[in-house]
Structure 1
């Protein structure tokens, strides 16, 4: 790029601790550093055992464990968690798990202002963003607020060893989606572009390794490192068509988060590709390919991920409603978002076609 370019990059106060075994040792240290003495630990049902270990490490500083996190953060689930935090007299929150747990922690922070410590166990990346999401009446709303940005993030690759391979794959490709859209976001910057390309390279190289050897701690660590970079990109930029499509499919139609991102990403990228040659070149370098949309789909399919939205329960009869919702509100995207274009993306993803770049 030339340095006559015009850009801005904003950093936010967040401390990252990255080391194996850190969930048990670093979380109490981070709580002490933040001067927090009454922490509520939140998680989902799948991550409850890990959350209990973290709660145990906190000892008397833990005032409760709330294991009710759910995908897309239904507003009634957030209401209950806020009530629990207030009743316990919590002065902070620790979210242990994937995007659902971190999302619930953010909902508590949004309503109460309590500082948040995040302990990710997947590659979702939301722990590195000030973005929150809540689903009410089958509509997912998102927003940005510095108060929901975790004050500390503890990355422990050992926690991802028990993450099943199918979920590891879709969670990792979900992370890639953040970096892909950051490369062509209207508020991207040279630093974001570097992080995005490196994040894509790290995750794409790690996923086949951990799929072949799920106990490979080095591969797990590299995937987590890549997800950290991809999540940082998500936090620094404005997302476009891909994320809007996935929010609609998740919030309105209840499709699973990571799997939906995995299926949609190659088609959203193929749609935007003609308008983003520099971003496409960076992705081709990171993926060592000449066709980035197809390479992303081949990666996910080769590792056993779902091939189509139909496999996730999406019905062809819902195509028009989904397209209307995706195009219902304006948002930045490098290529104009048209009803016909969105319908084409959704239909191709629904059927699991080969992604093709068209002008």
Structure 2
């Protein structure tokens, strides 16, 4: 087999270990010679952040975290960082928290140490996102890639099972989208395959026992692999759809990804047989959709966009915006008609296997 591709591996330190976050953060702050640390955590995660940063001198505790990072929230946080001469950003939380740290780093260049408490994966990418006037804009910039990621499964134990499932399926979406994204290549496909395997084994363990360190370790490991694959491969059809649903209609990030994923998989899979087979092999099933749907049934995954406020009346506007963003190399041609069909099925929770 003749191979020809270009792959970029992002440079980042990963420190992984249950119960070790505080020690790892202290060591990283010392290594980076940080004196004015800004800890970013939403109000619900602030108690976790205080434990993680217990051995670090913190100049600013910042809790103004908003989903999809509105530009006003970002500008306020940037001002706080500059006023306090911050030299290290520490984000403790999910994708919104990491996203806010990235928004600050984008204009200031301040390094980030990310401490995830979900399976969002944003911590391992150089992708940023900001929402202004109900439009979410994303971009890629080396300044926003966290210098270090600290993974500690104990920090995810308070994440409710339902949210763990949605967040983990968001990671799964990174994996599957990476198989046909604009810069898909054999290396990120291999990472994505292992990510699918790890997430598909870890999430059911969390559902069976919410305090399972083994399950949460596997899910964090899978989420990291999914994000590394995504950072290399770029944003495919699934993410283009979900960014519009989140930014324009303010749908919750993880639940939206978890709901839309089987429909994009069913839509693209027949037109990308090699990618489909790789995913199926990772699931250990005959087809990728079969594997994903078995997992979704095991973990009681989100089913309908209508459960999160999306309506049939929203579909034409969503279709119009998404069509402007479709990657040129998507395996299947995307039209107004078939995209409308996909979103209608996701709205109602129809069987994705019926998509044609």
Q: TM-score range by the shorter chain?
A: over 0.9
Equivalent in the alignment of 2:349: 352
Residues 256-302 of structure 1 deviation map (CA, whole Å, 9 limit, x = unaligned)? 00000000000011111122101100111111222322432442244
TM-score (norm 1): 0.96
Equivalent in the alignment of 1:328: 324
* Unmatched runs of 5 consecutive residues or more in structure 1: none
**For the Cα contact (< 8 Å) 1:274–1:357, is it kept in 2?**
no
Equivalent in the alignment of 1:306: 302
Once the 2 structures are TM-superposed, how far is the Cα of residue 185 of structure 1 from its aligned partner?
Answer: 2.1
Identify the range of structure 1 (183-192 vs 252-261) with the bigger mean alpha-carbon deviation: 183-192
1:139-288 equivalences in 2 (<5 Å): 139-288=135-284
Equivalent in the alignment of 1:46: 44
Whole-Å Cα distance in 2 between the matches of residues 191 and 237 of structure 1? 9
Q: 1:341 aligns with which of 338, 342, 350?
A: 338
Q: CA RMSD in A?
A: 1.3
**For the Cα contact (< 8 Å) 1:273–1:357, is it kept in 2?**
no
Once the 2 structures are TM-superposed, how far is the Cα of residue 40 of structure 1 from its aligned partner?
Answer: 0.3
SS across alignment from 2:54: helix
Equivalent in the alignment of 2:29: 31
Once the 2 structures are TM-superposed, how far is the Cα of residue 71 of structure 1 from its aligned partner?
Answer: 0.8
Once the 2 structures are TM-superposed, how far is the Cα of residue 188 of structure 1 from its aligned partner?
Answer: 1.8
Residues 99-152 of structure 1 deviation map (CA, whole Å, 9 limit, x = unaligned)? 010000000100111011100010000101000000011000000000000000
Once the 2 structures are TM-superposed, how far is the Cα of residue 189 of structure 1 from its aligned partner?
Answer: 2.0
Identify the range of structure 1 (297-306 vs 106-115) with the bigger mean alpha-carbon deviation: 297-306
**For the Cα contact (< 8 Å) 2:181–2:237, is it kept in 1?**
no
Once the 2 structures are TM-superposed, how far is the Cα of residue 15 of structure 1 from its aligned partner?
Answer: 0.3
Whole-Å Cα distance in 2 between the matches of residues 50 and 171 of structure 1? 18
Aligned pair count reads: 355
* Unmatched runs of 5 consecutive residues or more in structure 2: none
**For the Cα contact (< 8 Å) 2:259–2:302, is it kept in 1?**
yes
Once the 2 structures are TM-superposed, how far is the Cα of residue 195 of structure 1 from its aligned partner?
Answer: 0.8
**For the Cα contact (< 8 Å) 2:246–2:252, is it kept in 1?**
yes
Whole-Å Cα distance in 2 between the matches of residues 339 and 254 of structure 1? 22
Whole-Å Cα distance in 1 between the matches of residues 262 and 338 of structure 2? 14
Once the 2 structures are TM-superposed, how far is the Cα of residue 8 of structure 1 from its aligned partner?
Answer: 1.1
Residues 213-253 of structure 1 deviation map (CA, whole Å, 9 limit, x = unaligned)? 01111111011001110011111112211101100100000
**For the Cα contact (< 8 Å) 1:51–1:96, is it kept in 2?**
yes
Whole-Å Cα distance in 2 between the matches of residues 185 and 306 of structure 1? 24
Residues 164-185 of structure 1 deviation map (CA, whole Å, 9 limit, x = unaligned)? 0000000000000001011122
Once the 2 structures are TM-superposed, how far is the Cα of residue 186 of structure 1 from its aligned partner?
Answer: 3.3
SS across alignment from 1:204: helix
